[in-house]
Every structure is written in structure tokens, then in C-alpha cells.
Amino acid sequence: MKQPLIEVIIDPFFYHYLKSKTIQSVEDLQGKSIERLINSTKNQIEIWYKNKKVQKLKINDLKEELLLFPLYNTTIHNKNSSLEDGIYIEQKEIGLVGSFEINTDDFNINNLEFQLVQTKEDIFLINLMYKNQALVCKKKDTLITFQNCFEINSTAK
């Protein structure tokens, strides 16, 4: 294809020309994947119990900046947003980003912990915990609306 790797890695035709049985799309590439829910007016979190919506909130509701008492059990980690050397694929998606479920007869929203990461630019929801146990995503139904690939190489001049 005679293009830089960071351009062809997100091109679906690249994998067709590659003709590899083990790597047929960008999803088959080895690497670390980080999924986060961005703090946006469009993003919302719904909590359901026994087929009834218990709570609907946004990430801004989880921050405790101007509250005397916290409304939700929230942990905020501050993180430097500098990235290590490597090739990064950034995707933005719309739809059901994750459906998490637990089996319990006595659900209490106070046992639910929202783990957030604060960077200089934004705040993200990275994890959900219930009674100190990480909730695992059971269902996802999204459509990719944006895709970008970039490389960070601190030794290049």
C-alpha cells in the first residue's frame, strides 16, 4: 500500500491485502486496550434494579466539588496524561458502551463505587465496583464514529 503504518493500520482494506488468517481487522492486533466513558453531556449512566430504573446520572453528578456530602461512592485518581512511546489507535463510539450486571437480592446504590480518572483535560469513568468487586461488561452495542491512529516516539527528532 506504500503508506505509513499509522495510516494503513486503521484502513480495513489493509487487512484484506494482508491475507492473514490470524489478523483480519484492527481488533485482532495484540496490545493493551483501555475503554473509558468520557465526561460529555451526551453520555449517561443508568442504574436498573428488578427491571426498574433506579437512577440516571451523568459523570458530572459523580464529582463532589460543590457538595457538602457526597451523593455517590466515588474514587477519583489524578493521572498525568503523557503517553508512553508506541502506536495508539483512538476510537470514539456511540451506543450502549457497556451493560454491567450483578446477581443480588439486596441491591444498595451505596455499595456501588464509581472509579474516575482526572487528567488535565478531562475526567473519565474507568471502572465500576460493587462491594469491592469489579463489575464485568456483559453486553456492548456500539458504532464507531471516529477513528485515529498516531505514534509517539520520544527518541525521534
Residue 104 structural domain: 31-152
What's the gap between Cα 88 and its chain centre? 15
Amino acid at 98: G
Split into its structural domains, the chain has a count of: 2
pLDDT-derived band at 156 (thresholds 50, 70, 90) equals low
Does residue 157 surpass a pLDDT of 60? no
Both 14 and 62 in a single domain? Answer: no
The pLDDT tens digits of the residues spanning 108-152 come to 889 999 999 998 888 899 999 999 899 989 999 999 999 999 999
Same domain, 42 and 77: yes
Whether residue 38 sits in one domain with residue 6: no
Q: Domain check: are 74 and 91 in the same one?
A: yes
Cα separation of 69 and 97, whole Å?
Answer: 29
Model confidence at 66: pLDDT above 80: no
Does 107 map to a domain?
A: yes
Q: Quick check: is 103 in a domain?
A: yes
Do 134 and 67 lie in a common domain? yes
Among candidates 93, 86, 109, which has minimal Cα distance to 9? 86
Report DSSP letters for 67-129, one per residue.
Answer: -SS-SSEEEEEE---PPPSEEEEEEEEEEEEEEE----SS--GGGEEEEEEE-SS-EEEEEEE
Read off the pLDDT of residues 42-52 as tens digits, 9 standing for 90 and up: 899 999 888 89
38 shares a domain with 8:
no
Residues 115 and 143 in one domain: yes
Predicted TM-score of the model (pTM)? 0.79
Q: Domain check: are 44 and 112 in the same one? A: yes
